[in-house]
């Protein structure tokens, strides 16, 4: 999802997809997005235990995680904005340069992370709760006998009639095909 945002951002700015810097940006972006989703799902799992309706838990999860997801994205975007525009601040000579040679290397990384977060942050709060709701609906279908009805598990998977037809006796007693083996606890006969 966030990779689409990276590609759009690089196309809009006219920068090529550099394997090293854009790739590192995609990896950093994936870490942020995956962390947001993990925390979102973990919050849902905790709320599901206290709230009777799973759909209510999904709504509460979205409301609780809205601010942290957007704050993380906003702070990261604001921190990388000078790199996106190519600002170079030299603290020793107290100069601000735009488009300095040192910014060219880091610009692809910054554009990848910023455009990916702009695209992925809203979708994290839309797609993940929708997938959670889909999971709840599928489990409800199975529980109440819809098309996804669970099959009943037979405690005896091989009927005894099949064993008798195959010439196999009762396997639970020593008189069956393994009748010559001494039961546990008895000493084996000496030869």
Residue numbers of the domain that contains 37: 2-143
114 within 8 A of 28, measured Cβ to Cβ = no
In a domain, 168, yes or no: no
- Could you tell me the pTM of the whole model? 0.67
Per the structure, the count of domains in the chain is 1
In a domain, 66, yes or no: yes
- Write the burial class of residue 3 (CB in 10 Å: 0-12 exposed, 13-18 middle, 19+ buried): middle
Nearby residues of 78 by Cβ (< 8 Å), 6 or more positions away: none
In a domain, 160, yes or no: no
What pLDDT tens digit does each residue of the chain (191 aa) get? 788 888 899 899 888 888 888 889 999 999 999 999 999 999 999 999 998 899 999 999 999 999 999 999 999 999 999 889 888 888 888 888 888 777 778 889 999 999 999 999 998 999 999 999 999 888 888 776 655 444 454 555 555 555 555 555 555 555 545 445 555 555 555 55
Smallest CA-to-CA distance from 168 within 157, 159, 179, 176 is with: 176
């Amino acid at each position: 999802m966030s990779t689409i945002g990276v590609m759009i951002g690089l196309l809009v700015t006219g920068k090529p997809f550099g394997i090293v810097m854009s790739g590192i940006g995609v990896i950093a972006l994936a870490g942020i997005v995956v962390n947001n989703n993990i925390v979102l799902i973990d919050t849902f799992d905790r709320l599901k235990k206290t709230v009777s309706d799973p759909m209510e838990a999904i709504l509460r999860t979205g409301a609780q995680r809205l601010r942290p997801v957007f704050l993380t994205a906003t702070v990261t975007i604001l921190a990388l904005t000078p790199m996106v525009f190519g600002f170079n601040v030299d603290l020793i000579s107290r100069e601000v340069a735009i488009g300095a040679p040192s910014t060219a290397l880091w610009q692809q990384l910054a554009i990848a992370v910023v455009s990916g977060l702009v695209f992925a942050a809203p979708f994290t709060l839309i797609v993940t709760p929708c997938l959670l709701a889909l999971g709840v609906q599928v489990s409800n279908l199975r529980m109440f006998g819809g098309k996804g009805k669970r099959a009943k598990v037979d405690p005896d998977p091989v009927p005894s009639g099949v064993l008798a037809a195959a010439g196999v006796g009762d396997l639970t007693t020593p008189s069956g095909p393994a009748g010559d083996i001494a039961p546990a606890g008895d000493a084996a006969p000496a030869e």
